[in-house]
Amino acid sequence: MLSDTSETLKQLFKDRNKRSHNAFKKAQNILPGGSTREIIFHQPYPLYIRKGKGCWIQDIDGHRILDFLNNYTSLILGHAHPKIVEAVKSQIINGTSFSAPTEHEQILGTAINERIPSIESIRFTNSGSEATSLSILAAKAFTGNKKIAKFEGAHHGTNENTMVSTNPSLKDAGPKEKPNSVPDGPHIQPNILENTVILPFNNQRTCEKLLYQNREELAAIIVEPVLGSAGIIPPKEGFMQFLGEITEKNNILLIFDEVVTGFRISRGGAQEKYRVKPDLTALGKNIGAGFPLGAFGGRKDIMAQFEPTRENRIHHSGSLNANPVSLKAGLTLLEELTNENYRKLSEQTSNVVRGLEKIFSEQRIDAKITQSGSLFVVHFTSEKVIDYRSAMREDTVRKFNFFLGMLLNGVMIAPRGLGCISTPMSNRDIDIFIQKVVESTIYLKER
Ligand SMILES: Cc1ncc(COP(=O)(O)O)c(C=O)c1O
């Protein structure tokens, strides 16, 4: 349910974005929802983008927009980074894919292993969804077990094994001590629900009980170490270590979904930050610097199941897997992500978070900001956000009005309040962001 303010904002948006509206109408004739990606749809319609450079983008109506979303956290170096453009060009003129491997695959694999040592052996994919899907497949084959445990509110991409309880209503979610397996849609079959154990994030006691009850049948726990789509919710002190210990003790594999956190929240991702060594890791988003690239990897004995010469192997092919253009972009990205860059990102994010807290406190607007590395989320609630359910209890009307108000003021964040910093941002860009937040609070006063 939206408010009068929401309706006013939507009308202002429509008045300002006529070309995007036209593009949306035309696109709807051929594409359900007007594009190929559910997450980028929002009311009244998304902006269609003409170009981007650094941390600024331009839509087809000609507005310049400060990009605090970076293709949903994927572009830590921003748009059209000169080194990425150069690297990609140098590959494109030499061919874009072959019926044979290139050396880039081994070079990037080794560079990833140097940063994330638990990835002893790796394979590349075209997306994060494939990376999580193949990690689960590998865990099931390795253990011979059919069940997977995942966290309520966690999104692991478009693969049916994890499309359970990603965004359940609080009414359907079931008791706290035993969350229901709620299908993400009509395509999820009952056998998937039966084989998915839903865990509450940051609740050690309940996780312990549910994992113990299902230990004989569980292949793996898949976890986003920082619960992303539910609102960048960091783990409580010791929670990741607990998952490491309980999985090891019960012969359950631990899969870290680092599609968002990998190379984002620190040089070695969440596993470096929380000092836990998962059995398998899925990567995506940032790793391709804007090009389609994902990866999964981990223990050598698990990954050896993909050896083509093995009689009882897991088949894994893909015509564009490990395409050299994406690999070149990934390699250049890792070279560019220096410790100095991480230090600057972290300092700027702290300034943003402090700025947001100050504004909302001065204006007496109930809000909590969650943060990890260069990622942050604004939650309109007075409650501490520690898991999916606490995030779901926030004021969604305010959230929408904040998002659309910011966009009208020339700043892009996600409708769910997600924002992130990229390396081309200057302190001046951070000041502009803070100023636009101040201007947008007017939309948070009235309902
Ligand atoms: C944590 C997480 N895992 C997996 C995925 C799927 O990645 P992709 O969109 O590249 O398929 C996403 C995408 O948003 C994600 O946030």
CATH code of 440's domain:
3.90.1150.10
| Tens-place pLDDT, residues 245-295 | 999 999 999 999 999 999 999 999 999 999 999 999 999 999 999 999 999
319 and 361, same domain (yes or no):
no
167 and 43, same domain (yes or no):
no
Nearest ligand 1 atom to alpha carbon 285: 10
Give me 122's structure tokens: 């790796």
61 and 196, same domain (yes or no):
no
| Domains identified in the chain, total number | 2
135 and 39, same domain (yes or no):
no
Is residue 335's pLDDT more than 80? yes
Q: How far apart are CA 84 and CA 291, in angstroms?
A: 10
34 and 87, same domain (yes or no):
no
Question: Considering Cα of 115, then 121, then 124, then 127, what sign does the dihedral take?
Answer: negative
Look at ligand 1, atom 6, and give the residue with the nearest C-alpha.
Answer: 157
Q: What is the mean pLDDT of residues 312-336?
A: 97
Q: How far apart are CA 324 and CA 88, in angstroms?
A: 9
Q: What is the mean pLDDT of residues 179-183?
A: 98
Mutate to test the pocket of ligand 1, among 132, 136, 151, 388 (most ligand atoms within 8 A of CB): 132
pLDDT of residue 285: 97
Q: Identify the band that residue 420 occupies on the pLDDT scale cut at 50, 70 and 90.
A: very high
Angle at 112 between CA 107 and CA 117, to 5 degrees: 125
Q: Identify the band that residue 445 occupies on the pLDDT scale cut at 50, 70 and 90.
A: confident
Residues forming a β-bridge with 298: 121, 280
106 and 182, same domain (yes or no):
yes
Using a pLDDT cut of 70, give the percent of the chain over it: 99
Is residue 315's pLDDT more than 80? yes
The domain that holds 184 is classified in CATH as 3.40.640.10
61 and 169, same domain (yes or no):
no
| Distance between Cα 156 and ligand 1 center (Å) | 5
pLDDT of residue 447: 60
Q: Which of 336, 370, 395 is the last residue of a domain?
A: 336
Nearest ligand 1 atom to alpha carbon 132: 4
Query: Who lines ligand 1 at CB under 6 A?
Result: 127-129, 132, 155-157, 224, 228-229, 257, 259-260, 284, 294
| Distance between Cα 284 and ligand 1 center (Å) | 7
Give me 277's structure tokens: 């060594």
pLDDT of residue 33: 93
Asked if residue 415 lies in contact with residue 403, where contact means CB atoms within 8 angstroms, the answer is yes
Is residue 152's pLDDT more than 80? yes
Mutate to test the pocket of ligand 1, among 156, 158, 229 (most ligand atoms within 8 A of CB): 156
Is residue 30's pLDDT more than 90? yes
pLDDT of residue 1: 63
Q: Which of 304, 336, 368 is the last residue of a domain?
A: 336
Mutate to test the pocket of ligand 1, among 40, 129, 372 (most ligand atoms within 8 A of CB): 129
| Tens-place pLDDT, residues 348-406 | 999 999 999 999 999 999 999 999 999 999 999 999 999 999 999 999 999 999 999 99
| Distance between Cα 363 and ligand 1 center (Å) | 35
| Tens-place pLDDT, residues 47-61 | 999 999 999 999 999
Instruction: Provide the mean pLDDT of the chain.
Output: 97
320 and 346, same domain (yes or no):
no
260 and 403, same domain (yes or no):
no
Work out the burial of residue 158: count CB atoms within 10 Å of its CB; fewer than 13 is exposed, 13-18 middle, 19 or more buried: middle
64 and 117, same domain (yes or no):
no
**Residue range of the domain that includes 247:** 82-336
pTM of the model: 0.97
355 and 321, same domain (yes or no):
no
| Nearest residue to 353 (alpha-carbon basis) of 433, 276, 297, 248 | 433
| Distance between Cα 254 and ligand 1 center (Å) | 18
Q: Which of 285, 302, 336 is the last residue of a domain?
A: 336
Is residue 75's pLDDT more than 90? yes
282 and 355, same domain (yes or no):
no
